């Protein structure tokens, strides 16, 4: 009897526990305000713009903070936000930005040039150790300050008055406003200093953008509400944005279909079904991105130390078929490195790069001394572990076998190890995705292939290529810059085939008919510009 | 008994230290580090060095380990490298309760379905009821959560429209993940209960009880079941520890903010303090669960208690 009583008590206790856990968690009543439910695949690692590194979270950074310079989603050029205009001095080494005088922090204080200066300083402070610091090394003494060799006061930043700020830079970089765009979100000094690394928690945050952060349950959801004091509040229509953290793409897709979220990027496995579905196919948009999927070659590894071998393998790839049958997401096949939409990318009609041509491919290989692949040393193609990459690698393997008669081994490697092996020069060639840090060909050609300041993984060197990308960096005549990058692409992808570009990334998006949104090539969506048609 | 329990609890301290040491050495032996990889590689060396210095990653391993243990003894599990300003203590405090609730609920479901199913099969061995029960159990063992979860979502959320797809917080939201996680374990428990029950009902003391004229119901509950449960209780220990600390697969499918994903993401991201924290918390639960199992043994079988 006593025992039964005990068991009953324990059971009751458990039930009460379970019920109380769910108490108060009942579904919210229907909202009266215009609202939209979104999904983020990542819980923000931080919402401090001076530390935020993941591009997936940019959407939230832009909801909370104004940026010095915004980004025009149509032409990829910098556009006004906090700064209404900017100009370079005659020698191109001093940039002056003129700021709006009507931007206020949510604590009521005015946002001035001092806040801009503080934020830049914070990014460069070695004690803060921000991953973004390198993006500001073009500013005078920035690198020195970041490595402890100079004081903050020596930085090339000058406050002219409350609403004018100047940057002195080391070299006359033509794309400085674009470069500062990614790091130019002012943060509130006093709040940061009071609350330290968690100053952006909902109970502490002081922000300046179109939305306020009102709730954040880590790894679950974030709630944003319209900021009535935002300088352009009258043009912000959606009053409440709920951002669910949903890692799994298929789950997000199901949530969209069940109406729990209002817009979603379609997982590649669902694309065929969506396109055939009479209702869903009406809600589809294909969006190209500023990301390149490519093969990189270690030009010191046998047999790829011979450019003819590289060209043979490049010419044996049917990129149209790869995109149509394997990648399937509306990607654009390409023969050049910088994706369409960045400044300096080469139009496909220019005919630069190596086209699919199986006959020519065989000739290249014969010319290199390996007719029909005879005598060719073993070749292994590597990719970082993912189902998608495996499918692509296996399709490439088939193409090389069919068009060159070469049996290439394909092998996956775990992500972090992958990178270490590549850097150490342990692979012959490998798959790589590369996203634009700035929408400029500089970000691809220079960063990947420049002999001393690039990634160095190609182990490739051409003096004329280096000279071109160095000159293009400071060239202010836009037409001349374009020509320089075209020539650089020709050397890298056509003459030398040290990089074999396959396609530009794209994504397929589904959006409910009542939501009117823009699609960002850089995945830096501006929710402030979105509109919701009221539901009847 | 009390001194036994105290002795066992004291033993956990050296056990945990050894686990910490082995984990520490293994995780530093894997190539790569928290600030390597294609995403972060193009950062200048100076920037990477600042970031590594920030977390003292350039200190000697010995210094890093002793500092870690020193902080651990004060209850500080260190910072997460992936989220500036967030500590491993916070991560566990925020996410463990959710995983534990899900785990305990699914264990109750597993026991509620599995044990009766096993008993009912054993009592009518080789009957239709037995075959049907075991067919269901084999099905349950064979379908992984990775398949079952999306299948349940498709049926109940998308086709029938009676339950939400994902997330955590309401009773309705809990139903699908609890069953997804519970059914596989229910199947394991059913098979184990059946096998063990079949062995026990052939024992002499059962025949004696029957000969004495004890009611069949009392024989099943009091004499057979209690003894048959010993192997079941044995696996309940590790099962409970695993369920409480979270299931990465189920949490991912249902977008539940539990602790499970940290076990995997921390290793992929070489987030050393989070690896240590999750491994240690799992070890603690495993040790405690095994201790509970040993105590329950004694209650179920006096012969064990007397040893």
Question: Any idea which of A281-295, B149-163, B176-190, B290-304 has the lowest mean pLDDT?
Answer: B290-304
Q: Check residue B21 and give its pLDDT.
A: 95
Nearest-neighbour CA in chain B from A267: distance (Å)? 14
**In chain A, which residues have their Cβ closer than 8 Å to the Cβ of B148?**
none
Helix (H, G, I), strand (E, B) or coil at A427: coil
* pLDDT, tens digit only, all 536 positions of chain A: 445 545 554 554 455 445 444 444 444 444 467 899 999 998 999 999 999 887 778 899 999 999 999 877 666 678 899 999 999 998 889 999 999 999 999 999 999 999 999 999 999 999 999 999 988 999 999 999 999 999 999 999 999 999 999 999 998 888 898 888 878 899 999 999 999 988 999 999 999 999 999 999 999 999 999 999 999 999 999 999 999 999 999 999 999 999 999 999 998 889 889 989 999 999 999 888 889 999 999 999 989 999 999 999 999 999 999 998 898 888 999 999 999 888 888 988 888 999 999 999 999 999 999 998 889 999 999 999 888 899 999 999 999 999 999 999 999 998 878 888 998 899 999 999 998 778 889 989 998 999 988 888 999 999 999 999 999 988 878 889 899 999 999 999 999 999 999 999 988 999 999 999 988 777 677 899 899 987 65
Q: At which residue do the structure tokens 């970000």 appear?
A: A443
List the alpha helices (DSSP H) in chain B: 2-29, 38-41, 45-54, 61-73, 88-123, 128-142, 145-152, 171-200, 204-212, 216-218, 226-244, 248-253, 260-268, 272-300, 302-306
Asked if the C-beta of A244 comes within 8 angstroms of chain B's C-beta atoms, the answer is yes
- What six digits make up the tokens of B71? 């902080």
| Mutation choice for A interface testing from B29, B47, B49, B161 by most A CBs within 10 A | B47
| Mutation choice for A interface testing from B27, B28, B30, B31 by most A CBs within 10 A | B31
**In chain B, which residues have their Cβ closer than 8 Å to the Cβ of A423?**
41
- What six digits make up the tokens of A247? 């890692």
Question: Are residues B178 and B107 in contact, defined by beta-carbon separation less than 8 angstroms?
Answer: no
Mean pLDDT of the B257-267 span: 93
A15 to chain B: closest CA residue: B105
Helix (H, G, I), strand (E, B) or coil at B159: helix
> How far is it, in rounded angstroms, from Cα A259 to Cα A37?
9
Q: Residue A90 gets which letter from DSSP?
A: T
- Indicate the residue of A218, A260, A433 with minimum beta-carbon distance to B94: A218
List the alpha helices (DSSP H) in A318-386: 319-321, 358-367
> How far is it, in rounded angstroms, from Cα B96 to Cα B244?
8
Cα–chain center distance at B149: 18
Beta sheet of A211-217, edge-to-edge order: A35-40, A240-245, A221-226, A211-217
What does DSSP say about strands A409-413 and A429-435: parallel, antiparallel, or unpaired? unpaired
Question: Are residues A307 and A257 in contact, defined by beta-carbon separation less than 8 angstroms?
Answer: no
Helix (H) or strand (E) holding A225: strand A221-226
Question: Chain A to chain B, count of Cβ pairs less than 8 Å apart?
Answer: 145
CB atoms within 10 A of CB B305: 14
Nearest-neighbour CA in chain B from A241: distance (Å)? 17
Cβ distance of A244 and B167 shorter than 8 Å = yes
Q: Residue A214 gets which letter from DSSP?
A: E
* pLDDT, tens only, B50-91: 999 999 999 999 999 999 999 999 999 999 999 988 999 999
pLDDT mean across residues, chain B? 90
DSSP string, B235-262: HHHHHHHHHHT--HHHHHHTT---SHHH
Give Cβ neighbours of residue B201 (< 8 Å, ≥ 6 apart). Answer: B122, B123, B224
pTM of the model: 0.85
Question: Are residues A485 and A445 in contact, defined by beta-carbon separation less than 8 angstroms?
Answer: yes
> How far is it, in rounded angstroms, from Cα A134 to Cα A145?
12
Residue of A172, A176, A142 whose CA lies nearest to A157: A142
Q: Check residue B2 and give its pLDDT.
A: 81
Q: Check residue A7 and give its pLDDT.
A: 53
> How far is it, in rounded angstroms, from Cα A492 to Cα A295?
13
> How far is it, in rounded angstroms, from Cα A390 to Cα B40?
23
Cβ distance of B46 and A48 shorter than 8 Å = no
* pLDDT, tens only, B94-123: 999 999 999 999 999 999 999 999 999 998
* pLDDT, tens only, A435-465: 877 888 998 999 899 998 888 899 999 999 9
Cα–chain center distance at B30: 25
Cβ distance of B36 and A419 shorter than 8 Å = yes
Question: Are residues A479 and A306 in contact, defined by beta-carbon separation less than 8 angstroms?
Answer: no
Question: Are residues B89 and B76 in contact, defined by beta-carbon separation less than 8 angstroms?
Answer: yes
Q: At which residue do the structure tokens 């369409």 appear?
A: A340
> How far is it, in rounded angstroms, from Cα A74 to Cα A245?
28
Question: Are residues A514 and A535 in contact, defined by beta-carbon separation less than 8 angstroms?
Answer: yes
Question: Are residues B245 and B103 in contact, defined by beta-carbon separation less than 8 angstroms?
Answer: yes
ipTM of the predicted structure?
0.89
Nearest-neighbour CA in chain B from A360: distance (Å)? 33
Question: Are residues B189 and B207 in contact, defined by beta-carbon separation less than 8 angstroms?
Answer: no
CA distances from B123 to A59, A109, A476, B192 (A): 61, 77, 88, 14
Cα–chain center distance at A406: 35
A431 to chain B: closest CA residue: B38
Cβ distance of A415 and B268 shorter than 8 Å = yes
- What six digits make up the tokens of B24? 């520490």
**In chain B, which residues have their Cβ closer than 8 Å to the Cβ of A418?**
38
- Indicate the residue of A48, A418, A455 with minimum beta-carbon distance to B42: A455
Cβ distance of B257 and A217 shorter than 8 Å = yes
- What six digits make up the tokens of B15? 């056990």
**In chain B, which residues have their Cβ closer than 8 Å to the Cβ of A447?**
42
- As a residue count, chain B comes to 307
- Indicate the residue of A21, A53, A251 with minimum beta-carbon distance to B255: A251
| Mutation choice for A interface testing from B84, B102, B263, B270 by most A CBs within 10 A | B84
């Amino acid at each position: 009897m006593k025992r039964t009583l005990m068991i009953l008590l324990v059971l009751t206790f458990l039930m009460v526990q379970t019920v109380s856990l769910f108490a108060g968690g009942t579904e919210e009543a229907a909202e009266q305000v215009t609202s939209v439910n979104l999904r983020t695949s990542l819980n923000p690692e931080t919402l401090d713009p001076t530390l935020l590194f993941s591009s997936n979270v940019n959407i939230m950074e832009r909801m909370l903070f104004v940026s010095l310079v915004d980004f025009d989603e149509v032409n990829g050029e910098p556009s006004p936000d906090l700064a209404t205009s900017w100009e370079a001095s005659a020698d191109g080494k001093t940039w002056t930005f003129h700021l709006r005088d009507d931007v206020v922090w949510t604590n009521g204080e005015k946002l001035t040039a001092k806040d801009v200066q503080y934020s830049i300083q914070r990014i460069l402070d070695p004690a803060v150790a921000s991953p973004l610091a390198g993006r500001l090394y073009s500013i005078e003494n920035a690198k020195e300050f970041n490595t402890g060799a100079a004081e903050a006061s020596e930085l090339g930043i000058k406050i002219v008055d409350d609403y004018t700020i100047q940057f002195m830079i080391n070299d006359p970089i033509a794309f400085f406003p674009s470069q500062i765009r990614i790091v130019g979100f002012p943060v509130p000094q006093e709040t940061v200093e009071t609350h330290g690394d968690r100053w952006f928690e909902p109970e502490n945050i002081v922000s300046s953008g179109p939305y306020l952060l009102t709730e954040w349950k880590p790894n679950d959801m974030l709630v944003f509400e319209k900021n009535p004091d935002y300088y352009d509040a009258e043009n912000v229509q959606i009053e409440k944005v709920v951002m669910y953290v949903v890692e799994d793409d298929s789950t997000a897709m199901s949530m969209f279909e069940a109406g729990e979220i209002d817009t979603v990027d379609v997982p590649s496995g669902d694309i065929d079904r969506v396109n055939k579905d009479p209702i869903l196919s009406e809600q589809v948009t294909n969006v190209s991105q500023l990301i390149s999927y490519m093969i990189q070659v270690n030009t010191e590894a046998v047999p790829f130390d011979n450019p003819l071998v590289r060209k043979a393998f490049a010419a044996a790839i049917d990129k149209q078929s790869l995109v149509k049958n394997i990648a399937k997401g509306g990607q654009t096949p390409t023969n050049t490195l910088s994706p369409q939409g960045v400044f300096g990318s080469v139009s496909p009609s220019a005919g630069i790069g190596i086209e699919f041509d199986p006959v020519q491919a065989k000739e290249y290989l014969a010319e290199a001394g390996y007719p029909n692949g005879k005598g060719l040393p073993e070749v292994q193609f590597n990719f970082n572990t993912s189902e998608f990459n495996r499918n692509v690698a296996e399709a490439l393997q088939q193409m090389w076998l069919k068009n060159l008669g070469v049996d290439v081994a394909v092998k996956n490697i775990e992500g972090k190890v992958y990178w270490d092996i590549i850097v150490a020069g342990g692979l012959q060639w490998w798959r790589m995705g590369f996203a634009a840090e700035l929408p400029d060909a500089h970000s691809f050609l220079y960063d990947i292939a420049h002999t001393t300041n690039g990634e160095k993984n190609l182990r490739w060197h051409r003096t004329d290529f280096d000279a071109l990308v160095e000159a293009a960096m400071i060239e202010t005549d836009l037409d001349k810059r374009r020509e320089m990058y075209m020539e650089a692409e020709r050397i890298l992808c056509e003459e030398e085939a040290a990089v074999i570009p396959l396609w530009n990334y794209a994504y397929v998006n589904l959006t409910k008919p009542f939501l009117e949104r823009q699609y960002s090539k850089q995945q830096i969506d501006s929710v402030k510009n979105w509109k919701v048609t009221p539901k009847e | 008994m009390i001194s036994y329990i105290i002795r066992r609890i004291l033993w956990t301290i050296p056990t945990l230290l050894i686990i910490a040491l082995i984990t520490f050495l293994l995780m530093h032996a894997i190539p790569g580090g928290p600030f390597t990889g294609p995403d972060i590689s193009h950062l200048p060396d100076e920037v990477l060095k600042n970031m590594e210095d920030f977390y003292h990653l350039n200190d000697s391993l010995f210094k890093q380990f002793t500092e870690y243990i020193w902080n651990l003894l004060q209850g500080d599990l260190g910072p997460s490298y992936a989220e500036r300003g967030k500590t491993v203590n916070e991560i566990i405090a925020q996410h463990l309760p959710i995983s534990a609730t899900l785990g305990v609920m699914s264990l109750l479901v597993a026991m509620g379905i599995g044990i009766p199913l096993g008993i009912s099969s054993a009592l009518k061995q080789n009957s239709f009821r037995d075959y049907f029960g075991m067919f269901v159990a084999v099905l349950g063992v064979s379908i992984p959560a990775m398949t079952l979860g999306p299948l349940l979502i498709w049926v109940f959320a998308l086709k029938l429209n009676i339950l939400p797809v994902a997330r955590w917080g309401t009773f309705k939201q809990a139903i699908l993940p609890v069953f997804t996680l519970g059914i596989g374990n229910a199947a394991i428990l059913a098979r184990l209960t059946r096998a063990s029950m079949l062995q026990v009902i052939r024992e002499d003391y059962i025949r004696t009880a029957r000969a004495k004229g004890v009611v069949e119901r009392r024989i099943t509950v009091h004499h057979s079941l209690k003894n048959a449960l010993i192997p079941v209780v044995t696996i309940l220990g590790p099962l409970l520890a695993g369920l409480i600390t979270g299931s990465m697969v189920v949490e991912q499918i249902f977008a539940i903010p539990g602790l499970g994903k940290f076990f995997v993401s921390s290793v992929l991201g070489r987030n050393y303090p989070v690896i240590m924290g999750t491994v240690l918390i799992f070890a603690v639960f495993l040790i405690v669960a095994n201790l509970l199992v040993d105590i329950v043994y004694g209650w179920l079988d006096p012969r064990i208690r007397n040893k």
